[in-house]
Structure 1
Amino acid sequence: MNKFKYLSKQLIKPSLLFVALFLALLPSCETVPETNRTQLILLDQRTEFSMGTKAYKDILKKSKISPDKRAIKIIRRVGRRIAKVVNRPQYKWEFNLVENKTPNAYCLPGGKVGVHTGILPIAKNEAGLAAVIGHEIAHAVARHGAERMSQSIIVAIAGEVLAQGLTRNEADRQAMRAAYGIGSAVAITLPFSRNHELEADYLGILYMARAGYDPREAKKFWQRFSRWGKKEKKSSDFDFLSTHPANKKRIAQIDDMLVRAMAEYNRSAKIGAGEKLKAGRY
């Protein structure tokens, strides 16, 4: 009975702290362009850009820039076309091709874009590349990185408040912190990450369509990427602890996104699939 009374009293403390924290964080809510989703951002954009620039410089120091002038020219052409329709003058756009066989690309805060040579055969053409670059730029424009950092901060604070409020025993507190850390990762942080991927797909397809690239090529790209994954035995069809949506789900949802994207494409100065890249059997 005494333990129940203690627990009841202690629950009041974290509850009040959560209310105070919620009220304090209300001014930090922002809205994602196009989707109008509300997000919590605790990081100011200047700090975010500074972190992005530093990370980009560190990556380039450890990487080899590709000597393929033709591919670099295409990447920068596609990137600049997308950057133009995104219309973020505060971003200092850079586009580089990095020698790396792993098919990947990224856009760091502030507009620093890196494309791996390994993704070129899968992209196949300018439009496929536009799907990749548009997707990565969408992550940056929607401030997904800053949002995930903000979520991590909130999760850490919440875990500590619960640990301090619900038990007096330090060993129990440590166990609670560990348990809450695992639970929160599965229930809070990772589902947002999967949502980020789908949101970036949607925004990226709109960007490529407005830039004049056929958005139907985005679906073809993800189909090729899925085949690459199966060939390399890197399946992403398991959709629980993955930070990315399974490819089957992603491809199916792209069909829904194409309705608006095609309307945007039809209003653009159409480029279609654009110039071909390196051939790949995907």
Structure 2
Amino acid sequence: MKVFQCLSQSRGRGCLRILMLLLGVTTLSGCQVLQSIDKGLYDVAEAVTETDRVTGQRALSTANRNQQIALGNQYVDKLLQDEQKQGRKVDSALDTRQYRRLVRIFDRIHPISHLRQERWKPVLIDRDSFNAFTTGGTYIVVHLGLMKQLNDAEVAAVVGHEIAHTVANHVAERQTHQQLSGLTSSSAVRRKGYQAAFTHEREREADRIGILYSALAGFDPYAASRIWQRQYQQQGNARSLFAHDHPVNAERSAEAKAVADKVKQYYRAGKVNPQAHALLDNNTLWQKRSNRHAESAGEGGGVAAILSTAVGVMAEHQQAKQEEYRQAQQAQFVRSVQQSMRLEEQRWLNDRSWQTRWHYTGNLKLHSVVMGIIARDSQGKTYRFVGHHKGVLTPGQRFNVSFMLNKNMTLNQLERMQTQYYLDDALPVR
């Protein structure tokens, strides 16, 4: 563990030079003591890492795959038991058509994934919310509300994304990263913003893998981009309200489209790409690293394993810190612009929509301006609604933004709630 601490401190480069020297001495001299040390280092690396199924590099994990399956499935088994106790139906008993549809889509995605050799099971539960998740085991849990909102290609993007979380070992990786980071003197890992940013980057990776899965399985790879563009129109980005552990909707849509542009060459509408398994290792997104010529334990393999792991940990750490800083800067910008927004008027259009008039007194030209309103009912439940301003907003301009309630709420209900307008997002014109 001292190797990780050494590499995380300011004299990390010195540690690297020492370890590289040790690697050379071990390889050339065959000294029994150094061989023993190298084997010990290799055992340490084996205990806290596994080979990343996507990249071939070492990734943090203190639990082997069997342990991950046991722990992940235990959570879902408990969930299903609770559903039964509360009288909630699951799977085909809940909705035969939607469950068969989920299974049909899953049975196209899973066989071309990196975990196709495992026996997985999709689960449909009775929730109206837009959500799906995995816990690192062999279940994928999907909410009925999500199935009702998405077409087949969009469901495939979600299924691929969730499988990708387990493929990329994100659950175990996050837990191990927190454990090992706690041994260092870094205060960053304890910040909520850092923790959100770390997860944010794992979500981006799962998106990329999931979109490739969709394309290889014969589903439109642009479906994921359409999901998040639609979510952006309905929910905005909430840029300044909290640290984001998922990419904000507009950025997620744009990045998903960029990934789809790269993998569309593998897409065969309605058909599995015959080269799917080979393309998992080498494609336009990544080339899997081969470990065929890696040194063995006692022959420099221990030092090499520790080095590659430590470098990978530090790279992920820096990536999360950069994302945390980026989010903080963007949130600060939105909050500063919000001070230049003045509400001048609001009027009801009908029983489910209304229009607001604003005066922008700032000095910058803006685009992608989204206004939002937060409403809280007497039970403390929170609702958010957004309205978009199209085009460029210039200094001194007055502009209108319209809002619409969801189908389960009326303006009379909204008027009885505590409400507050806010600037959901805005970007400067470059």
Same fold judged by TM-score > 0.5?
yes
Correspondence for 1:114: 141
Between 1 and 2, higher relative CO (CA 8 Å, sep ≥ 6) is seen in 1
Structure 1 residues 132 and 267: CA distance shift in structure 2, 3 A:
closer
1: CA distance between counterparts of 2:123 and 2:200?
A: 26
Quote the offset at 1:151 in angstroms. Answer: 1.2
1: CA distance between counterparts of 2:81 and 2:210?
A: 28
Correspondence for 1:229: 235
2: CA distance between counterparts of 1:111 and 1:18?
A: 34
Q: Is the 8 A contact 1:92 1:112 kept in 2?
A: no
Bigger Cα displacement from structure 2, 17-26 vs 45-54? 17-26
User: Is residue 2:162 matched to residue 1:136?
Assistant: yes
Q: Is the 8 A contact 1:90 1:110 kept in 2?
A: no
Q: Is the 8 A contact 1:78 1:129 kept in 2?
A: yes
Once the two structures are aligned, what percentage of the paired residues are identical? 27
Correspondence for 1:173: none
User: Is residue 2:224 matched to residue 1:218?
Assistant: yes
Higher strand share: 2
Structure 1 residues 252 and 17: CA distance shift in structure 2, 3 A:
closer
- Partner secondary structure for residue 251 of structure 1: helix
Q: Which residue, 253, 256, 263 being the options, matches 2:255?
A: 253
Correspondence for 1:176: none
Q: Cα RMSD over matched residues? A: 3.2
Letter in 2 for 1:158: T
Structure 1 residues 228 and 94: CA distance shift in structure 2, 3 A:
farther
Bigger Cα displacement from structure 2, 83-92 vs 242-251? 83-92
Structure 1 residues 237 and 251: CA distance shift in structure 2, 3 A:
farther
- Partner secondary structure for residue 140 of structure 2: strand
1: CA distance between counterparts of 2:116 and 2:72?
A: 16
Letter in 1 for 2:190: I
User: Is residue 2:178 matched to residue 1:186?
Assistant: no
Structure 1 residues 17 and 92: CA distance shift in structure 2, 3 A:
closer
Q: Is the 8 A contact 1:96 1:115 kept in 2?
A: yes
Q: Deviations over 1:115-142 (max 9, x none)?
A: 101112331x110100111111110111
Aligned residues between the structures: 235
Which consecutive residues of structure 2, in runs of 5 or more, have no partner in the other structure?
9-14, 16-40, 274-405, 408-430
Quote the offset at 1:68 in angstroms. Answer: 1.0
Structure 1 residues 40 and 87: CA distance shift in structure 2, 3 A:
closer
Letter in 1 for 2:66: R
Structure 1 residues 16 and 204: CA distance shift in structure 2, 3 A:
closer
Q: Is the 8 A contact 1:138 1:204 kept in 2?
A: yes
Q: TM-score, normalised by structure 2?
A: 0.49
Letter in 1 for 2:233: R
Higher helix share: 1
Q: Deviations over 1:13-45 (max 9, x none)?
A: x97782399967544444534455653222211
User: Is residue 2:157 matched to residue 1:127?
Assistant: no
